[in-house]
Amino acid sequence: MSSTTSPLHGTDRAALERVVEPIARAHGAEVVDMELKPDRGAWVLRIYVEKAGAAENNLSTRDAAVDLELCANVSRDLSPALDVADLIAHTYRLEVSSPGVERTLRNEKDFARFAGQKAKLKLREAVDGQRVLVGALDGVSEGKVRVALGNQTREVPLSSVESARLVFEFGSSGKDKRKH
């Protein structure tokens, strides 16, 4: 899973990033992820953004959140730029949004950034008979993520993680549980 990316179905990711990223930055946002996939019979290009500097400053999902107005402004400026660039081979609908409180974790930096928060990891191979682990992220080192499962901690190679996302807990303040 070391730096997994969402599918773009044949679209040149680097070329798409060259169009999307400057527009997001101009609106005070940074691109978290992009995906192009079929959705209810039509293609959808989803661009996930959060506040500029969120990853660099290890902001919580709450502090990194963007509002609807920012997403609408990015979408308004991005749509004609994508039309001019003509990078996507078929008709699609553009959506710009926040990655949300149950955001996908894609790389080592994401696992480190959200240490202390609850996450769900789906594994390629079972670890102690389990292919799904749900627990608190407990750091990353040497290509392995640590997950606290009750009174036990498991180390899982990032290469074994098929997908991972944060898990929202009702009643949580949304603040990072790490001690600073």
Average pLDDT, the chain: 91
Q: Tell me: the pLDDT tens digits for 91-130?
A: 999 999 999 999 999 999 999 999 999 999 999 999 888 9
Q: Of the residues 43, 70, 97, which one is the last residue of a structural domain?
A: 97
Q: What is the count of structural domains for the chain?
A: 2
| Radius of gyration of the CA atoms of the chain, in A | 17
In a domain, 171, yes or no: no
Q: How many residues does the chain have?
A: 180
Domain that holds residue 18: 13-97
Mark whether 30 and 87 lie in a shared domain: yes
Collect the ranges in the chain with pLDDT lower than 50.
1-2, 176-180
DSSP assigned state of 89: S
Number of CB atoms found within 10 A of residue 137's CB: 25
Rounded to whole angstroms, the Cα distance separating 2 from 162 reads 10
Q: Of the residues 62, 97, 132, which one is the last residue of a structural domain?
A: 97
Mark whether 27 and 91 lie in a shared domain: yes
